Structure 1
Amino acid sequence: MVKVRALSKSFGANQVLKGVDLDVRAGEVVSVIGASGSGKTTLLRCINVLETYDDGSIKVDGVEVGYRETNGDRRPRGERELARIRADIGMVFQLFNLFPHLTARENVMLGLRKVRGLRHAEARTVAEQWLVRVGLGDKLDSLPFEMSGGQQQRVGIARAVAMNPKVLLLDEITSALDPELVGEVLMVVHELAREGMTMILVTHEMTFARDVSSRVVFMDGGRVAVEGPPSEVFGAQPHERLRSFLARIELKGV
């Protein structure tokens, strides 16, 4: 479903991604872990073309997301093409990014109306169904400031999955939450995983990554350093940098 090859991305003189390769099959949950600055979030933002990438290839369901090739000439896609591609790549952000003047229902309906072209009644039905699914049936008419951080993040998840994306990207979705609210968000992601949603998630929740993932990818210095099933990545680990990273995480009580 997702095929990344030799992906490179720089911000000025700082090369953040240095030839990343990654495959994600349909129905897989791949967790990306690593220290701050290792390129995890930049990788997600390139897959969703929120950042343009310099070299390499990203294909989602066989379609190159950021560029179009004509007679061997590679050119960036226009905004209209990008909008169509992004509609199939859901993303849930660290800081919710809800529209503050819209209710929970209206936040979820917006993309369904503007991007998917659903009629108002159909969009309303889909939005309500997903909000009920994430446990917010009593918050349909609530504005973001009337909800807890965990509730707002669940609206964000409902908004993304209501679009029926081919892959769902989740970027540190619990890092802005109080500890007691983390569990309610992770339960929603667990349920989506059980239902076969293709997901790539960046997280510092190691127990969660171990329990929910098909595979875990450890990034270090802009490269994929270790990749494998959770039992291998979190087991007796020969890779020194990964051992050091996991030891630091454990010292923080994560």
Structure 2
Amino acid sequence: MAEPHLLEIQKLAKSFASNLVLKSVDLHVAKGEVVTIIGPSGSGKTTLLRCVNFLEVYNGGSIRIDGREVGYREGAERRKRSEVDLARMRAETGMVFQSFNLFPHLTAAENVMLGLRRVRRKPLKEAREIALHWLGRVGLSQKVDSLPSELSGGQQQRVGIARAVAMEPKILLLDEITSALDPELVNEVLDVVKQLAGEGMTMLMVTHEIAFARDASHRIIFMADGMVSAQGSPAELMRQVEDNERLRAFLSRFSAASHIH
């Protein structure tokens, strides 16, 4: 019997006032799989990630991680989980944001330690050891006691990745993590992600880096108008270009698109 998917999204719907942003999205991610979402701005990609982490309350459908509904308690009544419960569940879904979201008054190590101390309840010594380990893994051993203002954008984003993976999440959510970076800093961040992917980290990411999506992903999801418009391995997705006008128009805007297969 096949293993159940680590992340299972069914008929997900999300609206802001009268604007329906996600329309019955079905998506799944298996353990150890790297799935990338691409698509035009406004297609619902970031909203989808934020729903998985319950930073956005979804209106309809289901999101389950390891068989547990993310934002709502099990049962007939759709009742939101308590904040304590939500914090625990969010720790299972490490999220890396496009805008770094580091605390400016905390050092790199202290930023990584925060969740370990508050959510995982790790003792100070153990939390610092874990933080130093992961900061070393992302190439920042020399910067552990630096404040965010003393770090480049690429270094800040690598602290963000270290902070997320230090919590040992079941799945890592990456939202346009290179979009706020200068072009010369993009690869240092993407190299860290590729390394984690190679070690079997389960990931769901949104990116405009088409060549990176091709190289790092087991599967690519193309979203348009709040729906999954096409999906498959990088090679399978390219075979759908001729029959999918939206996908063809989207990929034609990227010089790297010609090399996706």
TM-score (norm 2): 0.94
Q: Unaligned stretches of 5+ in structure 2?
A: 1-5
Aligned to 1:42, the other structure's residue is in SS state helix
Q: Unaligned stretches of 5+ in structure 1?
A: none
Deviation at 1:32, TM superposition (A): 0.1
Inter-partner Cα distance in structure 1 for 2:81 and 2:115? 21
Inter-partner Cα distance in structure 1 for 2:225 and 2:256? 22
Give 2:57's aligned residue. Answer: 52
Residue pair 2:96, 2:174 contacting (<8 A) in 1 also: yes
Residue pair 1:210, 1:234 contacting (<8 A) in 2 also: no
Inter-partner Cα distance in structure 1 for 2:216 and 2:234? 9
Q: Which runs of 4+ in 1 moved over 2 A?
A: 249-254
Report whether the alignment pairs 1:230 with 2:225: no
Inter-partner Cα distance in structure 2 for 1:130 and 1:227? 33
Inter-partner Cα distance in structure 1 for 2:96 and 2:258? 25
Give 1:192's aligned residue. Answer: 196
Q: Provide, for residues 113-156 of structure 1, a one-character-per-residue CA deviation record: whole Å limited to 9, x for no partner.
A: 01100000000000000000000000011000100000000000
Residue pair 2:39, 2:250 contacting (<8 A) in 1 also: yes
Deviation at 1:234, TM superposition (A): 3.2
Q: Which one of the candidate residues 26, 41, 46 is aligned to 2:31?
A: 26
TM-score (norm 1): 0.97
Inter-partner Cα distance in structure 2 for 1:95 and 1:253? 29
**Greater CA drift, 186-195 or 242-251:** 242-251
Give 2:254's aligned residue. Answer: 249
Aligned counterparts, 1:169-208, within 5 A? 169-208=173-212
Give 1:148's aligned residue. Answer: 152
Deviation at 1:235, TM superposition (A): 4.5
Matched-pair identity in %: 64
Give 1:8's aligned residue. Answer: 13
Deviation at 1:184, TM superposition (A): 0.2
Paired residues, what number?
Answer: 253
Give 1:216's aligned residue. Answer: 220
